[in-house]
Every structure is written in C-alpha cells, then in structure tokens.
Chain A
Amino acid sequence: MPSTQPPSPSWRSGITDVGAGGGAAVVVDVVVVGAGIVGAAVARALAVGGARVVVVERGQAAGGTSGSGEGNLLVSDKGPGAELAMAQRAHELWPALARELTEELRAGLPGGFPDLELEPKGGLVVATTAAGANALRTFAATQRPAGVRAVELDADGTRALEPALTPEVACAVHYPDDAQVQPVAATEALLASARQHGASVLTGAEVTAPLLAGGRLAGVRTTRGDVAAGAVVVAAGPWSGEVSARLGAALAVLPRRGVILVTTRQPHLVHRKVYDADYVGAVSSGDADLQTSTVVESTAAGTILIGSSRERVGFDASLRVDVLRRLALGALTLFPALAGVPVMRSYGGFRPYVPDHLPVVGEDPRLPGLWHATGHEGAGIGLAPATGELLADLLLGRTPSLDAAAFSPARAGLLDGQAASAGAA
C-alpha cells in the first residue's frame, strides 16, 4: 500500500476474523455494493486513493439504472443549490477523467477501449407556450448568478442550432455546458480502471446480511461468500433501500420509472439535447402520476433517443403503450419532421430518489461503517465523478471540495422515523 495514507483510520481493515462472519473469504478496506456508474466511480476514486476495494454486484456491471438512461451531464435542469454545485464539479471532472480513462485503458486492446462518447454538445431548452416561456426565462435568470451559462436565443439563433425544430418556439435558452456520455461504456471504463488500481469486481454476488463487529458494520455476507471490510459503501441505486435494510439501517430510496424510445439511424436531424421546458418541472416533482417532458437527442451511432417519462410504479417494468404515445407526442411537438421515423426499441429503468430529491453521499449516523452513495435520480451518470470524489474525500479523511453536509445521510428530515435495527441485532 502507498505510504501516503492517513495512519490507521477507522475504515482501514485490520480485521482477519470477523465475529459475525467467521473466516471471511475476502478482506479489504472498502466493499462497494453495486457496479453501476456510481459504484464504479466510488470504487475507482477509492482505489486511486490507495484503498483496497472490492465491488460486489448482484447482477452485472451497468445492468440496472446505469444501462437504462440517456447518459445526461446536465446543468440546464438544476436550479441554484447543492445539486447544481455537484453538477458543476462533475463538469470540471469529466473531460480530464475521460482522457485519463482512455489513456489508462488504451494498452492491449486493438481498436481501443469502447469510446465513452463524451460529447459537450450543449442543451437547448424550448418553451412552446407563453406561460412556459415566462417560467423558462425566470428559471434561467436564477441560474446565471450561480454560474450557469444560459443564453436566450432569438428565432434565427434557434434555427441555426436546430434547423428541424418546430417554428412554434416562444422562448429558447441555450446551455452550452450540457453534455452527454455513453453510460455503459463509462461504467465499464471506470471499473476497468479501478481494477488496474488494484480493485476487484465480484459479479453475481448478492448481499444477504451484514458482518458486524463491535457495533460497527464490518463487511457483507454475499451469495458468493463473505467480504470483510473496514467500510461498506452501498451504491445500489434504487435498490439501495433494500440493501441498506438488509445491512440493518434502511434508507428510504424509492424507484421512479423512466422510459426512452430509440429510433433507427437518422443522422443530422437533431444536433443538441433539446428539451421541452416542462422537463425542469417534472424532475423536481413528487407526484406519482405519469409525467412526460420531452428530451430529444441524437447518439454518436445516429439513433435518436426520446425521453423521458417519470412514473412512480414501484419496480413494475411492464410495458404501457400510453407512455410511448405521450413520449412520441412530445417529440413531435418539438420536431414535427420526425413523424415518419421508425421507433425500433424502447427501454426503461428505475431512477433512485429520496423525498428531498438530493443525492445521499456519506456515512450513516445510525450504523458506523455504513456509507451511502445513491439518490441521484436521473442525474447519476453526470454526477458520478463528483460523487466518487466526495465519498473518497470523506472516507479517506481528505477535505472535500463540495459542501458535504448538504448530501449527508444525517441531513435534516432524511432519516426521520427510520431507526437503525442493526444495533439490536
């Protein structure tokens, strides 16, 4: 291990025999539960920082939420506050991270590691009604003092950016800093890099119970054996609620379903991320009802992605044609020229959210040794590098660049009524 580490902090695992687990198969400093992009970013940040890390994953890498979104790196949908600060930090990190990953992983793979397709394409938020235009202007005015570049365009400026856009535009605001990344490639790259820094990834391993030692969480029991660790980071996205409950300190993370349509290749029709202004309202809403607010964008492969619905239907993944209908209606409102374009598939996933709609990053006050990294809702891809950095800063005893209190599991209101059961176990 590098000698730059802080001297024997609490997470440093010197444990060779765990009382509850007895003869653990694997002993590491940190076990990360979940191989989605947040778990991958956390694992890499910890491994680069010198920690011995193992990632345990019930299914496969990027097999849940990370593999079922668009890959948004957005500032346009965030008002001033802690999440915007995290998004801005993530935007600082992404370009260098993508370069580092590409460099690290280039060797030994003909044709290179799959491209992360990091594209600073910019976003265009469009209101088609007078009321929507007012709301959009007001929102953009609150963002600018917080450092968001938000440029209102006239009709010519809008047409120059998106020639196929409907002429019925009441207001359009350009956000040059919005970007896109291929989320599965990014997750795999972060994991591959973490492995190069000594981490290991155990897939097909479901967490079943905690390993406890002296009132601390000291590892996890999985279907593929025990892993003893000085700290456990639960980064299981919408399944973090269930995993943390199994570990003895439930966190109320809820799934919110989102569905995306994919068209056949249609190059040069849509150039940026184009949103209906309603998107901003839907993301921050707590309503259970189906909401759709249109997001239309092209991928590097030439397909057009149309999102995104948001429903609270538990983990129900069954198809509802009405969701597809409303997504299509929204897309045609923005781009009438897409009417004849074939949709060749749809996919959907579950975004993790907590009632106050802020990511949860930090140690659980109820059970020492239990850390959370979840609650990013639809923004986890973009926020992953900043999340990994923040969690590693806290766990490795470094001074975080973000206001950690805002994301702490101990923040006001988050754990009310959710008592830990582990202490009694």
Chain B
Amino acid sequence: MPEVASTKDHDDSANDGVVVVGGGPAGLAAATAARRAGARVVLVEAGDDVGGQYWRHLPPQRPARDEGQLHHGWSRFTEMRRSLLADEGCEVLTGASVWAVEARAPHLPGDAPVLRVVLAPIGGADAAQREHRLLRPGALVVATGAHDLTLPFPGWDLPGVVTGGAAQAFAKSERLAVGERVVVAGAGPFLLPVASSLLSTGATVLEVCEAAGPAQLARGWGSHPARLLAGPRVMAAKTAELAGYAAALLRERVPYRTATGVVAARGEGRLEEVVLARLAPDWSPVPGTERVVAADALAVSHGFTPRLEVALAAGCALREDGFVAVDDRGATSVPGVWAAGEVTGIGGADLAQVEGELAGLAAAGAVAHPGTHEASQRLSQQLSQQVSRLLDRRRTLEAFAGRLAAAHAPRAGWLAQVTDDTTVCRCEEVTAGRLRAVAAATASTADTPAGARSLRLTTRAGLGVCQGRICGHAVDAVLGRTSVGRGAGSGVGPVSHQRRPIAVPVRLGELAALPAPDHQTSDHQTADHQTADHQTSDHQTPDLTDSEEPRS
C-alpha cells in the first residue's frame, strides 16, 4: 500500500488514534482506509476473528481451500485482513467486546467518548481470565452491524427453529447444517444466501418462503429485474451475487414461493412440522391455505435490526427508522464519532465497505496532528478524489438498498399470526396474550410512543438474559408501538429496549478490580508524565489496563 504514511507522521499518542468497533466489511474497510490516511488504528472485534457475518469462515486453525468459492469478495477480505494484522500501526483486538462507553473527562483533549473493553481468550467468553482495556479514541468509528429481525409466531421458541443468521453462521463457521430437511422463511434477499449456505453443507432445503407478494416485490425490484444488470458496474456485481444464490436454488430444484409465510411451528419437544400459508398483500395469512411440511429445522429471517448498544451509549442520534443517523461521510450527531455499515441502514456488504472507507478516511482526518500540515494536505488532496468516487458508489448502492427495503418490508397483517398463546419473550416466557391483557389493564402507557418500559417491568418481557435483543421488537410490535409492519423500511421504531448501559455482561469481580479513577486522572493531568509514559509503552499505559483473575 504505497499511500500508507508512517505511524510517526502523527503524534497522536494522547489517544488511541482511530478506534473502529466491529470487524465486518464496514469495520475492516474503515480500518484499512484510516491506515492508508496515516492514522494509528485499533480494531475491536467481538468474535474470534475479523470478517463479520458476511465473511464468517472456519477457524484459522482449520482453514479450508474452498472458502473463496463460498464467499463473495473473499480475496478482498483476505487482503484487508492480512495487511491489517501485519501492520504495526494497527492493533487488532479479537474476542474484544465494548461493555461500556463513557464521556471523556473534561480535562482530556478530543471529543470521542472513552470505551471500556473486555477481552476473552479465543473461544472463551466464559474463561476465568479476561483482560480489561480502556481505549481513548481520537476518533471512533462504530461499525457494529446488524442482527436478524425475526417476527414471532406460535412455536418459534421450539428447538429446531433458528434465525437465518444463525443457520448461515453455523454453515459458514462449522460447515454444518442446522437440520437435514430445512424450511427457509421470512422476507428479504437474505433468504437466498441462507438457503445457499445450507445447500453447501448438504442439507435439503424444502422451500424458500418469501412473505412479500408479487405486487410488493415489483415495487422494489421492478417488473424487469434484469434491467438492474444493465446498471452501473457496482450494481451489476451486487445483482450477480444474488443471481448466483438464485442459480444454486434452481440447480437443487428448491421452490421459491412468494406471498408465503410460516403461521406455526409444531413438534413434541423439538420441531417436527412447519405450517405454511398463503399471505395476503398485508401479510395476514389467507384462511384455508394452510399446509403442513415435515421438517427438522426452520430458518427464519424478516430483515435486520441494527446493533445499537455502542452507538446509543455514545449518544448518537437515530433516524426515525431506528438506524444511526449519519451524513454522507458517516459523521454521527456526536463530535468525534462516525458510523458505517448496517448500523446506519441495511445495504449489504458492498455498501458497508464504501461507507466504512468514507468513515475511516474522515476519522483519520480528525486525528491528524497539526504538526504534519503539509503531509496531511497532500493526503487530503489524494483523499478528496477517493471520496468523490466513493460518494458516487454510495449513492448508487443506497438507491438499490432502498428499493430492496421497500420490496420486503414487513406489513401490519403479520400481527394476525401472533395468537394470544404465542410466546413473545422467550427468556421470561411471556405470551402475547399476557402482554396485551396487562397493557389493557394498566392502560397508562397507551398514549406514549416510548411507553413499553412500564410494561416490560410489570410483565418482565425483555428483562431476561437476552435483555430484549431477541424479543424487543416483537414486544413493541405486539403492543402496537413500533414501525415494524407499519410503513416503509425495515424500521424498528422505539429503541428504548436497546439502551443498555452495560452492553455485554461483566462480572462483579471484574468491575471491582477496575483501577480507581484517581489513578487515571493523576496520570493525565501531568502532560510531561503522560508523554514520557506513552513513549515507553506504545499506546497502552500500564496502569490504565488491568489483567486480573476474578476473586473466588
């Protein structure tokens, strides 16, 4: 990479440079771009390896020759991964979860908030020894991605019913199928790669059921989908990727049915059969069209919902549809904080990489040291050309993503499938009937859009181990307080259940062993001491980090 500036160009030792949270396509692209612009980078990835859901793969100890055939853009991924891992100016932290975000102390320079990170040894979130790190980003890029949005139906909590994302992850990282005879159902183009990855593991995919009907699909895809192929090259690639998945389904003669959805999953102790039905244009099941399919696995996905813990904790404003609000360079409402990828809107891996690159460049510009004015001017000239190219790509891909969102957005009739005995919150076993009854009995939250909090506390829906990650949207939707199925986009409406001051569980022993703040402030109030300290210890001050064993 000829454009890489030396790490010595920027004396940003007072902070950790550009900190990127999330190692999927957006985060990798952001880290790569920020390095190209000369900033020091720390990449924080919660999984055992970078790549995210899109480039999820077998563990490095068990490499496979065919990864390249299974993944789009595989060579780009391996190149980004290789160069970041080999780069002294980039620290890649895997198994690293941001568990808290704090405002920066007023006496410290910079705008970006401070991150508390917990690191687990590979494969060991439950390991006895976990290291804690404090990161002080000069600029923060939030690229935390999205996870499956699954709308509840009777039996969705049976073993054998999984999210599309889980089925795909299992196939990609273990080469195993979630079952032998699998139904894939839900909405959106994501159903195609889910089915395709299941086929690659040898599973029989019985059918792929898309809830959207022909009229809704035509709104997004147009009546001549082939015309997309004639569009700009970047879009042709995107369409070709989807066409590849579709071809795999054709080869295996997997039926792809539109206007079809799951109305129930049944079985004794685990999934045995799936009840499917035709769906009306509003997604309500058409009575009399039910049919039963014997299956041992059901993969369901109705779209995606952003992973917002870090963005919300950093104070980033959201758009009405629940995604992080950004400008076209990825700047959020909070100074010093950028966001990229699916956390800002669902657009796929190509768009995520463009957004990541833009955000990475902008974040790098924010940490550039004034002393290297000439170098940074030269860089910014080079960068401005890159940026305008990227902005063009971004606009094209966003238009495509917007059309897909409309083509597959949940419609209000889906609530008809949520019978009163449907479990909505799995952790606390709260049914839709109970939620509706308590909502009616308390009646005090009916008027306010953010009114689900009291109901969560009185019914315990969303208060279990998942902390609303799985059921939050369903709870809001059942109570009629969400935009899921209430309009365009895959919006999530109120996100109060996503505000989690502790983003991932942290042990009491770990909290108690954190260094006291006096320790930290005395270190940073003395500028001389601070500089000396950092010169001798890279960018990790020993007394700010802590590696400890929980007391027992």
Contacts from A to B (Cβ < 8 Å): 35, 57, 59-63, 67, 105, 108-111, 113-114, 182, 184-185, 187-188, 191-192, 195, 201-204, 261, 263-265, 301, 306, 318-322, 324-325, 327-329, 331-332, 336, 338-348
Contact = CB atoms under 8 A, between A and B. Distances in A.
Given A185-B458, A343-B508, 16 more contacts: A109-B437, A111-B434, A114-B438, A185-B457, A192-B442, A203-B447, A204-B448, A325-B516, A328-B508, A329-B511, A339-B508, A339-B550, A342-B505, A343-B502, A344-B465, A347-B501
Contacts of A324: 100, 502, 511
Nearest to B446: A203
Given A61-B454, A105-B441, A320 B512 contact: no
Interface of B: 100-103, 116, 313, 428, 433-434, 437-438, 440-448, 450-451, 453-454, 457-460, 463, 465, 467, 500-502, 505-509, 511-512, 514, 516-517, 550-552
A340 B103 CA distance: 27
A346 B505 CA distance: 10
Contacts of B438: 109, 113-114
A421 B508 CA distance: 50
B445 A61 contact: yes
A320 B511 contact: no
A321 B502 CA distance: 10
A16 B299 CA distance: 62
Contacts of A321: 100, 102, 116, 514
Contacts of B437: 109-111
Contacts of B447: 202-204
Contact of B512 (A57, A265, A339): A339
B453 A109 contact: no
Given A328-B508, A332-B509, A345-B500, A322 B517 contact: yes
B434 A325 contact: no
Given A110-B434, A111-B437, A346 B454 contact: no
Contacts of B433: 110
Residue of B433, B440, B445 most packed against chain A (CB within 10 A): B445
B444 A184 contact: no
Given A62-B454, A319-B501, A322-B516, A340 B460 contact: no
A184 B457 contact: yes
Contact of A342 (B444, B506, B516): B506
Nearest to B427: A265
Contacts, number: 152
A345 B454 contact: no
Nearest to B114: A321
A60 B508 contact: no
A316 to B, nearest CB: 9
Contacts of A348: 501
B157 to A, nearest CB: 18
A201 B443 contact: yes
29 contacts: A61-B445, A63-B453, A108-B441, A109-B437, A110-B433, A110-B434, A110-B437, A111-B437, A113-B441, A114-B458, A188-B454, A188-B458, A202-B447, A203-B447, A319-B101, A319-B102, A321-B100, A322-B516, A324-B511, A329-B512, A332-B509, A339-B550, A339-B551, A339-B552, A340-B507, A340-B508, A340-B509, A342-B506, A347-B501
A328 B445 contact: no
B322 to A, nearest CB: 20
A264 B459 CA distance: 17
A203 B453 CA distance: 14
B133 to A, nearest CB: 13
Nearest to B134: A321
B396 to A, nearest CB: 39
A331 B509 CA distance: 10
B457 A343 contact: no
A222 to B, nearest CB: 12
Residue of B437, B502, B516, B517 most packed against chain A (CB within 10 A): B502
A338 B508 contact: yes
Given A60-B454, A63-B453, A341-B507, A346 B501 contact: yes
Contacts of A61: 442, 444-445, 454
Contacts of A263: 508
B463 A59 contact: no
A188 B444 contact: yes
B129 to A, nearest CB: 12
Contacts of A329: 511-512
B441 A336 contact: no
Contacts of A343: 502, 505-508, 511
A318 B103 contact: yes
A63 B508 contact: no
Contacts of A332: 508-509, 512, 551
Given A60-B453, A114-B458, A188-B454, A344 B505 contact: yes
Contacts of B103: 318
Contacts of B517: 322
B502 A345 contact: yes
Contacts of B511: 261, 324-325, 327-329, 343
Nearest to A35: B444
Nearest to B442: A188
A320 B313 CA distance: 11
A331 B552 CA distance: 13
Contact of A60 (B445, B505, B516, B551): B445
A340 B510 CA distance: 8
Contacts of B460: 301
| 8 tightest Cβ-Cβ pairs between the two chains A and B | A339-B509, A328-B511, A342-B505, A61-B444, A184-B457, A114-B458, A328-B512, A339-B551
Nearest to A324: B511
A203 B444 contact: yes
A297 to B, nearest CB: 15
A185 B460 CA distance: 11
A55 B311 CA distance: 36
Nearest to A185: B458
B512 A201 contact: no
Residue of B438, B450, B458, B463 most packed against chain A (CB within 10 A): B458
A321 to B, nearest CB: 5
Contacts of A264: 465, 505
A202 B433 CA distance: 25
Residue of B102, B313, B428, B447 most packed against chain A (CB within 10 A): B447
B458 to A, nearest CB: 4
Residue of B101, B102, B438 most packed against chain A (CB within 10 A): B438
Nearest to B463: A301
B457 A62 contact: yes
B443 A318 contact: no
A165 B415 CA distance: 49
A203 B451 contact: yes
Nearest to B128: A340
Nearest to A325: B514
Contacts of A340: 507-509, 550, 552
Contacts of A188: 442, 444, 454, 458
B247 to A, nearest CB: 44
Contacts of B443: 192, 195, 201
A55 to B, nearest CB: 9
Contacts of A344: 465, 467, 502, 505
A319 B442 contact: no
Contact of A67 (B428, B453, B507, B550): B453
Contacts of B463: 301
Given A113-B441, A344-B502, A345-B501, A325 B465 contact: no
B309 to A, nearest CB: 11
Nearest to A320: B102
A261 B505 CA distance: 11
B347 to A, nearest CB: 31
A318 B102 contact: yes
B428 to A, nearest CB: 8
Contact of B441 (A109, A319, A339): A109
A114 B512 CA distance: 35
A312 B448 CA distance: 29
B429 to A, nearest CB: 12
